[in-house]
Amino acid sequence: DTEVTQTPKHLVMGMTNKKSLKCEQHMGHRAMYWYKQKAKKPPELMFVYSYEKLSINESVPSRFSPECPNSSLLNLHLHALQPEDSALYLCASSQGEGDQPQHFGDGTRLSIL
């Protein structure tokens, strides 16, 4: 079983909806990540939080809004998404800086109608 838990596992939403993806880890990790993965492609980094502060934003459109309420939780708020945003959204965590392995959750499969 993965130690990074993502909910929901599947999400279908219309382009005008507002929804949120959630990620939780209890490994004491201080860095958390959001990735987007399209079919048959590798993951692409979206955001990184270090010690609950946003440290990396890979020029992601503002319709994606990350939030880190505490060191164990990471949210991704979605609003006015486009069909091309349909993908597997993966959350990961690591102990801190980049010399530690990243541990991934099983992802949320997002479909935009």
Partner 1 sequence: KQEVTQIPAALSVPEGENLVLNCSFTDSAIYNLQWFRQDPGKGLTSLLLIQSSQREQTSGRLNASLDKSSGRSTLYIAASQPGDSATYLCAVSGRDQGAQKLVFGQGTRLTINP
Q: Does 87 bind partner 1 (CB under 8 A)?
A: no
- Beta carbon nearer to partner 1, 6 or 24: 6
Q: What is the dihedral of CA 19, 48, 23, 66, to 10 degrees?
A: -20
Which residues sit opposite 34 in a β-bridge? 47, 91
Instruction: Indicate left, alpha or beta for 15 from its phi (over 0: left) and psi (-120 to 50: alpha).
Output: alpha
Q: Does 7 bind partner 1 (CB under 8 A)?
A: no
Nearest to 80 by CA among 62, 97, 100, 101: 62
Residue from 50, 71, 72, 75 that binds partner 1 (CB under 8 A)? 50
Q: Does 109 bind partner 1 (CB under 8 A)?
A: yes
Q: Does 106 bind partner 1 (CB under 8 A)?
A: yes
Give least dist CB 80 to partner 1, A.
26
Give least dist CB 49 to partner 1, A.
10
- Beta carbon nearer to partner 1, 79 or 103: 103
What is the per-residue DSSP string for 64-103?
A: EEEEEEETTEEEEEEES--GGG-EEEEEEEESSSTTS--E
Which residues would be at the binding site for partner 1 (CB under 8 A)? 2, 4, 6, 31, 33, 41-43, 45, 48, 50, 55-56, 88, 90, 92, 94, 97-107, 109
